Protein backbone atom coordinates (compact mmCIF):
# COMPACT_ATOMS: atom_id res chain seq x y z
CA UNK A 1 0.00 0.00 0.00
CA UNK A 2 1.50 3.29 -1.17
CA UNK A 3 0.00 6.34 -2.84
CA UNK A 4 2.91 6.49 -5.31
CA UNK A 5 2.42 4.30 -8.38
CA UNK A 6 6.19 4.36 -8.95
CA UNK A 7 6.93 3.07 -5.43
CA UNK A 8 4.28 0.37 -5.75
CA UNK A 9 5.78 -0.79 -9.03
CA UNK A 10 9.38 -0.84 -7.83
CA UNK A 11 8.58 -2.68 -4.62
CA UNK A 12 6.31 -5.14 -6.44
CA UNK A 13 9.02 -5.94 -8.96
CA UNK A 14 11.69 -6.36 -6.30
CA UNK A 15 9.50 -8.74 -4.28
CA UNK A 16 8.25 -10.68 -7.29
CA UNK A 17 11.86 -11.37 -8.27
CA UNK A 18 12.04 -13.85 -5.38
CA UNK A 19 10.59 -17.28 -6.10
CA UNK A 20 9.11 -17.69 -2.63
CA UNK A 21 7.22 -14.35 -2.67
CA UNK A 22 4.12 -13.57 -4.71
CA UNK A 23 2.68 -10.04 -4.90
CA UNK A 24 -1.08 -10.60 -5.07
CA UNK A 25 -2.08 -6.95 -5.27
CA UNK A 26 -1.30 -3.28 -4.65
CA UNK A 27 -3.40 -0.36 -3.46
CA UNK A 28 -3.05 3.44 -3.52
CA UNK A 29 -5.22 4.04 -0.43
CA UNK A 30 -6.76 2.14 2.51
CA UNK A 31 -10.26 1.90 1.05
CA UNK A 32 -9.06 0.07 -2.04
CA UNK A 33 -6.70 -1.97 0.13
CA UNK A 34 -9.55 -3.08 2.40
CA UNK A 35 -11.47 -4.62 -0.48
CA UNK A 36 -8.37 -6.27 -1.94
CA UNK A 37 -7.32 -7.74 1.40
CA UNK A 38 -10.72 -9.38 1.84
CA UNK A 39 -10.66 -10.74 -1.70
CA UNK A 40 -7.01 -11.72 -2.14
CA UNK A 41 -6.25 -12.81 1.46
CA UNK A 42 -2.55 -11.84 1.58
CA UNK A 43 -0.16 -13.25 4.16
CA UNK A 44 1.60 -9.89 4.64
CA UNK A 45 0.74 -6.23 4.00
CA UNK A 46 3.19 -3.36 3.60
CA UNK A 47 1.73 -0.05 4.69
CA UNK A 48 2.83 3.52 4.11
CA UNK A 49 1.92 5.80 7.02
CA UNK A 50 1.11 8.89 4.94
CA UNK A 51 -1.84 7.78 2.80
CA UNK A 52 -4.74 9.63 1.15
CA UNK A 53 -8.36 9.36 2.39
CA UNK A 54 -7.27 7.59 5.61
CA UNK A 55 -3.84 7.63 7.24
CA UNK A 56 -1.97 4.39 7.71
CA UNK A 57 -2.24 4.39 11.49
CA UNK A 58 -6.03 4.61 11.43
CA UNK A 59 -6.15 1.82 8.87
CA UNK A 60 -3.84 -0.35 10.99
CA UNK A 61 -6.13 0.07 14.02
CA UNK A 62 -9.10 -1.11 11.97
CA UNK A 63 -7.12 -3.96 10.41
CA UNK A 64 -5.86 -5.14 13.82
CA UNK A 65 -9.39 -5.20 15.18
CA UNK A 66 -11.29 -6.77 12.31
CA UNK A 67 -8.77 -8.66 10.17
CA UNK A 68 -5.39 -9.05 11.96
CA UNK A 69 -2.43 -10.04 9.82
CA UNK A 70 1.27 -9.15 9.65
CA UNK A 71 1.93 -5.53 8.66
CA UNK A 72 5.27 -3.96 7.76
CA UNK A 73 5.32 -0.19 8.12
CA UNK A 74 7.14 1.83 5.46
CA UNK A 75 7.60 5.39 6.64
CA UNK A 76 9.52 8.58 5.85
CA UNK A 77 12.23 9.74 8.24
CA UNK A 78 10.58 12.89 9.59
CA UNK A 79 10.26 13.14 13.36
CA UNK A 80 6.46 12.96 13.28
CA UNK A 81 6.59 9.94 10.97
CA UNK A 82 9.06 8.19 13.32
CA UNK A 83 6.77 8.71 16.31
CA UNK A 84 3.78 7.49 14.29
CA UNK A 85 5.69 4.42 13.10
CA UNK A 86 6.55 3.50 16.70
CA UNK A 87 2.89 3.85 17.60
CA UNK A 88 2.14 1.47 14.73
CA UNK A 89 4.51 -1.07 16.28
CA UNK A 90 2.61 -0.76 19.55
CA UNK A 91 -0.61 -1.44 17.68
CA UNK A 92 0.74 -4.69 16.24
CA UNK A 93 2.89 -3.94 13.18
CA UNK A 94 5.81 -6.38 13.09
CA UNK A 95 8.50 -4.09 11.71
CA UNK A 96 9.22 -0.59 10.45
CA UNK A 97 11.35 0.28 7.42
CA UNK A 98 12.39 3.76 6.37
CA UNK A 99 12.05 5.41 2.99
CA UNK A 100 15.56 6.73 2.41
CA UNK A 101 14.83 10.18 1.06
CA UNK A 102 11.28 11.35 0.70
CA UNK A 103 7.86 9.94 -0.11
CA UNK A 104 8.68 8.76 -3.65
CA UNK A 105 12.11 7.23 -3.08
CA UNK A 106 12.94 3.58 -2.51
CA UNK A 107 16.72 3.08 -2.47
CA UNK A 108 17.94 0.10 -0.43
CA UNK A 109 14.41 -0.50 0.82
CA UNK A 110 13.83 -2.87 -2.09
CA UNK A 111 16.84 -4.92 -0.92
CA UNK A 112 15.77 -5.18 2.73
CA UNK A 113 12.04 -5.63 2.20
CA UNK A 114 12.04 -9.29 1.04
CA UNK A 115 13.82 -10.40 4.24
CA UNK A 116 11.23 -8.71 6.43
CA UNK A 117 8.33 -9.99 4.35
CA UNK A 118 9.52 -13.54 5.05
CA UNK A 119 9.83 -12.79 8.77
CA UNK A 120 6.38 -11.21 8.85
CA UNK A 121 4.86 -14.23 7.11
CA UNK A 122 6.45 -16.51 9.72
CA UNK A 123 4.89 -14.37 12.45
CA UNK A 124 1.38 -14.63 11.01
CA UNK A 125 -0.06 -16.96 13.63
CA UNK A 126 1.15 -14.72 16.48
CA UNK A 127 -0.20 -11.40 15.22
CA UNK A 128 -2.66 -9.79 17.58
CA UNK A 129 -3.42 -6.44 19.13
CA UNK A 130 -0.87 -5.50 21.75
CA UNK A 131 -2.18 -3.63 24.73
CA UNK A 132 -0.24 -0.73 26.24
CA UNK A 133 2.22 -1.88 28.84
CA UNK A 134 0.57 -1.91 32.24
CA UNK A 135 1.99 -0.54 35.47
CA UNK A 136 4.71 -2.65 37.13
CA UNK A 137 3.13 -5.47 39.18
CA UNK A 138 3.13 -4.93 42.92
CA UNK A 139 5.18 -8.06 43.57
CA UNK A 140 8.19 -6.95 41.52
CA UNK A 141 10.82 -6.09 44.16
CA UNK A 142 13.14 -3.14 44.30
CA UNK A 143 16.81 -3.96 44.40
CA UNK A 144 18.37 -3.55 47.82
CA UNK A 145 21.73 -3.09 46.13
CA UNK A 146 23.08 -3.20 42.60
CA UNK A 147 26.62 -4.45 41.91
CA UNK A 148 28.65 -1.58 40.51
CA UNK A 149 30.14 -3.68 37.72
CA UNK A 150 27.09 -5.80 36.79
CA UNK A 151 25.64 -5.24 33.32
CA UNK A 152 22.55 -6.39 31.39
CA UNK A 153 22.82 -6.60 27.59
CA UNK A 154 19.69 -6.99 25.46
CA UNK A 155 19.42 -7.74 21.74
CA UNK A 156 16.31 -7.92 19.56
CA UNK A 157 15.00 -7.52 16.02
CA UNK A 158 11.51 -8.12 14.58
CA UNK A 159 8.96 -7.61 17.35
CA UNK A 160 11.67 -6.35 19.68
CA UNK A 161 10.55 -2.77 20.24
CA UNK A 162 7.49 -3.94 22.14
CA UNK A 163 9.35 -6.79 23.88
CA UNK A 164 12.04 -4.42 25.16
CA UNK A 165 9.39 -1.95 26.27
CA UNK A 166 7.55 -4.63 28.25
CA UNK A 167 10.74 -5.60 30.08
CA UNK A 168 12.08 -2.14 30.84
CA UNK A 169 8.74 -0.65 31.91
CA UNK A 170 8.58 -3.12 34.82
CA UNK A 171 12.10 -2.61 36.17
CA UNK A 172 12.67 -0.34 39.22
CA UNK A 173 14.67 2.88 39.28
CA UNK A 174 17.55 0.93 40.85
CA UNK A 175 17.86 -1.27 37.77
CA UNK A 176 21.36 -2.40 36.82
CA UNK A 177 22.89 -0.63 33.82
CA UNK A 178 21.45 -1.85 30.51
CA UNK A 179 22.83 -1.74 26.98
CA UNK A 180 20.41 -2.42 24.14
CA UNK A 181 20.65 -3.22 20.45
CA UNK A 182 17.38 -3.18 18.51
CA UNK A 183 17.44 -3.56 14.73
CA UNK A 184 15.74 -0.33 13.70
CA UNK A 185 16.28 2.28 10.95
CA UNK A 186 18.77 5.00 11.86
CA UNK A 187 16.24 7.80 12.09
CA UNK A 188 13.91 5.83 14.38
CA UNK A 189 16.27 4.96 17.24
CA UNK A 190 16.03 8.42 18.84
CA UNK A 191 12.24 8.22 18.97
CA UNK A 192 12.46 4.67 20.32
CA UNK A 193 14.79 5.70 23.16
CA UNK A 194 12.60 8.71 23.94
CA UNK A 195 9.50 6.54 24.18
CA UNK A 196 11.24 4.09 26.52
CA UNK A 197 12.39 6.98 28.72
CA UNK A 198 8.80 8.20 29.05
CA UNK A 199 7.62 4.75 30.15
CA UNK A 200 10.44 3.79 32.52
CA UNK A 201 11.37 4.77 36.07
CA UNK A 202 14.99 5.34 35.07
CA UNK A 203 16.90 7.19 32.38
CA UNK A 204 16.86 5.78 28.85
CA UNK A 205 18.65 7.46 25.95
CA UNK A 206 20.81 6.81 22.92
CA UNK A 207 24.38 5.87 23.71
CA UNK A 208 27.22 8.33 23.22
CA UNK A 209 30.96 7.74 23.22
CA UNK A 210 32.36 7.35 26.71
CA UNK A 211 29.05 6.97 28.56
CA UNK A 212 29.64 5.60 32.06
CA UNK A 213 27.49 2.52 32.67
CA UNK A 214 25.75 2.97 36.01
CA UNK A 215 22.62 1.73 37.79
CA UNK A 216 19.50 3.53 36.67
CA UNK A 217 20.70 4.07 33.08
CA UNK A 218 19.76 2.23 29.90
CA UNK A 219 21.58 3.01 26.65
CA UNK A 220 20.13 2.26 23.22
CA UNK A 221 22.41 1.79 20.20
CA UNK A 222 21.89 4.65 17.73
CA UNK A 223 20.65 3.45 14.36
CA UNK A 224 23.47 2.67 11.91
CA UNK A 225 26.08 2.53 14.71
CA UNK A 226 27.45 -0.49 16.54
CA UNK A 227 27.37 -0.28 20.34
CA UNK A 228 30.29 -1.74 22.31
CA UNK A 229 31.26 -1.92 25.97
CA UNK A 230 34.83 -1.44 27.15
CA UNK A 231 36.46 -1.58 30.55
CA UNK A 232 38.20 1.68 31.39
CA UNK A 233 40.05 1.18 34.66
CA UNK A 234 37.51 0.18 37.29
CA UNK A 235 34.54 1.28 35.19
CA UNK A 236 32.55 0.04 32.21
CA UNK A 237 31.86 2.57 29.45
CA UNK A 238 29.87 2.50 26.23
CA UNK A 239 31.19 3.49 22.83
CA UNK A 240 29.62 3.70 19.38
CA UNK A 241 31.31 3.06 16.08
CA UNK A 242 30.61 2.47 12.40
CA UNK A 243 32.38 -0.42 10.72
CA UNK A 244 30.99 -3.16 8.49
CA UNK A 245 27.57 -4.69 9.00
CA UNK A 246 27.52 -7.96 10.94
CA UNK A 247 24.80 -10.45 10.05
CA UNK A 248 23.58 -7.74 7.65
CA UNK A 249 22.99 -5.42 10.62
CA UNK A 250 24.40 -2.20 12.06
CA UNK A 251 23.92 -2.06 15.00
CA UNK A 252 24.61 -5.75 15.50
CA UNK A 253 23.69 -7.75 18.59
CA UNK A 254 26.77 -9.94 18.08
CA UNK A 255 29.06 -6.91 18.22
CA UNK A 256 27.51 -5.77 21.50
CA UNK A 257 27.46 -9.21 23.12
CA UNK A 258 31.05 -10.00 22.15
CA UNK A 259 32.23 -6.72 23.68
CA UNK A 260 30.28 -7.43 26.88
CA UNK A 261 31.83 -10.91 27.09
CA UNK A 262 35.28 -9.35 26.92
CA UNK A 263 34.66 -6.36 29.20
CA UNK A 264 32.30 -7.75 31.84
CA UNK A 265 32.46 -11.55 31.57
CA UNK A 266 30.71 -13.26 34.48
CA UNK A 267 29.44 -9.90 35.78
CA UNK A 268 26.88 -9.69 32.98
CA UNK A 269 23.53 -11.01 31.86
CA UNK A 270 22.58 -11.45 28.20
CA UNK A 271 19.01 -11.48 26.87
CA UNK A 272 18.29 -12.42 23.26
CA UNK A 273 14.73 -11.58 22.27
CA UNK A 274 12.42 -12.05 19.30
CA UNK A 275 13.84 -11.47 15.84
CA UNK A 276 14.59 -12.78 12.38
CA UNK A 277 17.97 -14.17 11.43
CA UNK A 278 21.00 -15.30 13.41
CA UNK A 279 22.40 -12.06 14.88
CA UNK A 280 23.22 -12.44 18.57
CA UNK A 281 23.73 -16.21 18.76
CA UNK A 282 27.51 -16.11 18.36
CA UNK A 283 27.89 -13.21 20.79
CA UNK A 284 25.60 -14.81 23.37
CA UNK A 285 27.70 -17.98 23.21
CA UNK A 286 30.82 -15.92 23.93
CA UNK A 287 29.07 -14.33 26.90
CA UNK A 288 28.14 -17.75 28.26
CA UNK A 289 31.68 -19.04 27.75
CA UNK A 290 32.94 -15.99 29.68
CA UNK A 291 30.73 -16.93 32.64
CA UNK A 292 27.72 -14.71 31.98
CA UNK A 293 24.16 -15.86 32.53
CA UNK A 294 22.30 -16.01 29.21
CA UNK A 295 18.56 -16.08 28.48
CA UNK A 296 16.59 -16.51 25.25
CA UNK A 297 12.94 -15.62 24.73
CA UNK A 298 10.72 -18.65 24.23
CA UNK A 299 8.92 -19.41 20.99
CA UNK A 300 5.40 -18.85 22.31
CA UNK A 301 6.03 -15.22 23.29
CA UNK A 302 8.30 -14.36 20.33
CA UNK A 303 6.89 -12.62 17.27
CA UNK A 304 9.69 -14.27 15.25
CA UNK A 305 11.67 -17.09 16.87
CA UNK A 306 14.67 -16.98 14.51
CA UNK A 307 17.35 -15.33 16.67
CA UNK A 308 16.44 -17.11 19.94
CA UNK A 309 16.17 -20.46 18.17
CA UNK A 310 19.62 -20.10 16.62
CA UNK A 311 21.15 -19.25 20.01
CA UNK A 312 19.45 -22.20 21.69
CA UNK A 313 20.64 -24.60 18.99
CA UNK A 314 24.19 -23.22 19.34
CA UNK A 315 24.25 -24.05 23.06
CA UNK A 316 24.51 -20.36 23.95
CA UNK A 317 21.57 -20.22 26.37
CA UNK A 318 21.35 -20.96 30.09
CA UNK A 319 17.58 -20.42 30.26
CA UNK A 320 14.63 -20.13 27.89
CA UNK A 321 11.89 -17.91 29.33
CA UNK A 322 8.65 -16.26 28.26
CA UNK A 323 8.83 -12.49 28.00
CA UNK A 324 6.57 -12.03 31.04
CA UNK A 325 9.10 -13.70 33.38
CA UNK A 326 12.15 -11.75 32.29
CA UNK A 327 11.84 -8.59 34.45
CA UNK A 328 11.72 -10.55 37.70
CA UNK A 329 14.50 -12.88 36.54
CA UNK A 330 16.76 -9.91 35.78
CA UNK A 331 16.34 -8.66 39.35
CA UNK A 332 16.86 -12.12 40.84
CA UNK A 333 20.14 -12.62 39.01
CA UNK A 334 21.27 -9.10 39.88
CA UNK A 335 20.65 -9.71 43.59
CA UNK A 336 22.45 -13.05 43.41
CA UNK A 337 25.48 -11.25 41.97
CA UNK A 338 25.25 -8.57 44.68
CA UNK A 339 25.19 -11.17 47.47
CA UNK A 340 28.12 -13.12 46.03
CA UNK A 341 30.13 -9.92 45.69
CA UNK A 342 29.47 -8.67 49.25
CA UNK A 343 32.36 -8.79 51.78
CA UNK A 344 30.22 -10.84 54.20
CA UNK A 345 29.58 -13.45 51.51
CA UNK A 346 33.26 -13.67 50.66
CA UNK A 347 34.17 -14.05 54.36
CA UNK A 348 31.68 -16.89 54.84
CA UNK A 349 33.11 -18.67 51.83
CB 59 within 8 A of CB 27: no
Which residues belong to the active site?
A: 157, 183, 279
CB 94 within 8 A of CB 200: no
> Looking at the DSSP assignment, which residues form a beta bridge with residue 131?
none
What CA–CA distance (Å, rounded) separates 234 from 148?
10
Is 345 exposed, middle or buried (CB count within 10 Å of its CB: 0-12, 13-18, 19+)?
exposed
Is 158 exposed, middle or buried (CB count within 10 Å of its CB: 0-12, 13-18, 19+)?
buried
Q: What is the DSSP string of 14-49?
A: HHHTSTT-------SSHHHHHHHHHHH--S-EEEES
The DSSP 8-state label assigned to residue 84 in this structure reads H
Other Cβ atoms closer than 10 A to 288: 20
What CA–CA distance (Å, rounded) separates 205 from 199?
12
What CA–CA distance (Å, rounded) separates 44 from 59?
15
Amino acid sequence: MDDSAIVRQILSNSLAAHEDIEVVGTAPDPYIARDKILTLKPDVVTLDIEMPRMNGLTFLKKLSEYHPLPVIIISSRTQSSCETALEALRLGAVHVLAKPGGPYSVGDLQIDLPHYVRAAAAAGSRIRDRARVSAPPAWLPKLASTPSDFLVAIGASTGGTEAIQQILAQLPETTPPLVIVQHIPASFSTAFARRLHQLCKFEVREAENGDLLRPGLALVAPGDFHLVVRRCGAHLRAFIKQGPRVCYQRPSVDVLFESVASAAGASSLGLLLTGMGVDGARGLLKMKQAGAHTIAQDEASSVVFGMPRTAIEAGAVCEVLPLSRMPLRILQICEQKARSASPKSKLSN
